[in-house]
Structures are given as structure tokens and as C-alpha cells.
Amino acid sequence: MTGSANREEAEVEQLLEFEAVSKKYGNKAALRDVSLSVGPGRIVGLLGSNGSGKTTLMRIAAGLDRPDSGTVRVLGHEPGRASKALISFMPDRPQFERWMTVGEALDFQRDFFADFDPDKSKRMLEFMKLSRGDKASSLSKGMQERLQLTLALSRRASLYLLDEPIGGVDPVARGHILDALVEFYEEDSSMIVSTHLIADIERIFDEVLMIKEGSLVLRQEVEQLRMDSGKSVDQLFKEVYAEC
């Protein structure tokens, strides 16, 4: 009985589990037999070129798409209402309406999610140099990215999924956004960040997952990867994708 209880406890400790997950859109395979797990307290880089399957993986983890085969668990839950309450997903497109002010976007997030933290959102607004009265339609691309992150990180979620959070901003703004990721995510949670801009962001990763043509081709601790290969994550990424 004790052994069974220990196994159940070990399983629940994993925030996210994929087991042999596959997904097709029409005749195109977006994910091919992907298995992975993410424990608490991790910042994980989900790396791949455009069209490699990163967004599909995130949407399935967030419960927005269903896999064709395989199983997904979020803290032991199948994707659904319970799992969605544990995940804060930042898509690669704005999750606010252009007519909204920054304050209205935050109020909408507060009304929709029970784990929204008003004090945290206030600190994030200050950090991001945003004002509640700013109109979303008047924000630059970089400031819209900051608002996206503020919406996502103002929640006290168990798992944060950020899809290309620095894809549309300049290098100076990228540094500010990376600082926000480290500063404001919950330490007992985990964060998965998808990107193809490795050199700018690899410094914050504990672990990387590389996905190519829908298949997981590498999963490793960042420090171990650097010691084993003598290369940066960005250098190794370029080698892996040069073989395409």
C-alpha cells in the first residue's frame, strides 16, 4: 500500500505529462508520439523553428486542442476545466481587444480567473511601465508584448505556457521581458517558453526541449548540455536544425 501511495505522489509531483501524444491537422502531422514531463520549479525552453509543433504542443497542454492519440495530464488531471484553472497560457496573438484599456484587460482577467493577484498585477504594471489608462490600440508591438506578459503572469498559476513571448520585440525590450519572466513567475510553479530566438533567452532556462517536424529530438538540462557538448544552446540548436 505504501509503495502504491508513493508512486501516486511521485506522479502528482509532475506538473505536466505527455505520453505518446500525436496530433494531425488534415494530412499534416503536427506532433508525433511526443512524451515528456515537467516538474515544479523549472523554466523550460521549448525550442524549434516555425512550424515545428511548438504551438500545437502548448495548445494541447492548455486544453485548447485535443490530441489524436496519447495522454496528457496536468497535476494528474486530464485536460478540462480543472486543468485550465492551473495553467496560464500566453498565446502568440493578443488575448485582449484593441478597444480595451490596459486596466480593462486586467479587470477581464481578474473576473475570469480565481488565481488573479491584484497586487502582483500592480507590481507588473510598474515594472513594465504600463498605465491602466493606456489604450491597447495605441501600444507599440513591444508594449503589447509587455501587456500580454502582465496578463499571463498576474495569475498565481501552477504552470505558465508562453508562446513566443519575445518574438516581436527589439533586443532592448527582450532583456526587460526576460527579467520579468524570472522576477514574476511563481517559484513552486514551472514555466514553458517556446521560442526560436535562442541566443536572447537561453540564459534563463533550466532545461530545453527541442522539437523538429513534430518529434521531440532532444531533452536535456542546460548546464549538462553545455558541459557535454562544449557549446551554447543556440549553437547546438543551429546544428540540429541544419540537418533538416
The pLDDT-based confidence of 2 (bands split at 50, 70, 90) is very low
Distance between CA atoms of residues 73 and 16, nearest Å: 6
What are the chain's domains?
2-94+142-242 (3.40.50.300)
233 touches 219 (CB < 8 A): no
Cβ-Cβ contacts under 8 Å for 133 (sequence gap 6 or more): 101, 102, 103
pLDDT tens, position by position, 51-75: 899 999 999 999 999 999 999 999 9
Check whether 155 has a pLDDT greater than 90: yes
**pTM for this model (two decimals):** 0.89
pLDDT tens, position by position, 160-192: 999 988 876 777 778 878 888 888 877 789 999
Distance between CA atoms of residues 203 and 119, nearest Å: 28
pLDDT tens, position by position, 128-154: 999 999 999 999 888 888 899 999 999
pLDDT tens, position by position, 30-55: 999 999 999 999 999 999 988 899 99
